[in-house]
Amino acid sequence: MIPRKFIPLVYWPVALTAFLIIWTVCVSPYSKYGDNWAIVPAFLVLPLVLVIHLALLIKGRWHPKLVAYGVLHTCAIFYIWMWCLMDISKDAL
């Protein structure tokens, strides 16, 4: 079982993923190719998620459930992140 003190931290990567999807849905209709104001927040989400997962793994002493969660969520957010970047920037669609 994952220690209770890590439970609030576990939700942060999912919250950032939800923010990325909501940001994309809200901004995409108004953005055009080369809009930095729209793409920069989306660029920051993946590194933040990776740092949070790494911090969870280090603090959780590489608990198998945290490792599985980190690997599965990192794989999923990579594809979500790429879709959001392409949708916001209107590039490669």
> Above 80 in pLDDT, residue 4?
no
**Residue at 4 is within a domain:** no
Burial class (CB in 10 A: 0-12, 13-18, 19+), 32: exposed
> Which pLDDT score, from 0 to 100, does residue 90 have?
83
**Residue at 11 is within a domain:** no
**Residue at 3 is within a domain:** no
pTM reported for the whole predicted model: 0.87
**Residue at 67 is within a domain:** yes
Average pLDDT over residues 59-77: 92
- The pLDDT tens digits of the residues spanning 10-54 come to 899 999 999 999 999 999 999 888 788 899 999 999 999 999 999
Give me the number of domains the chain comprises: 1
**Residue at 7 is within a domain:** no
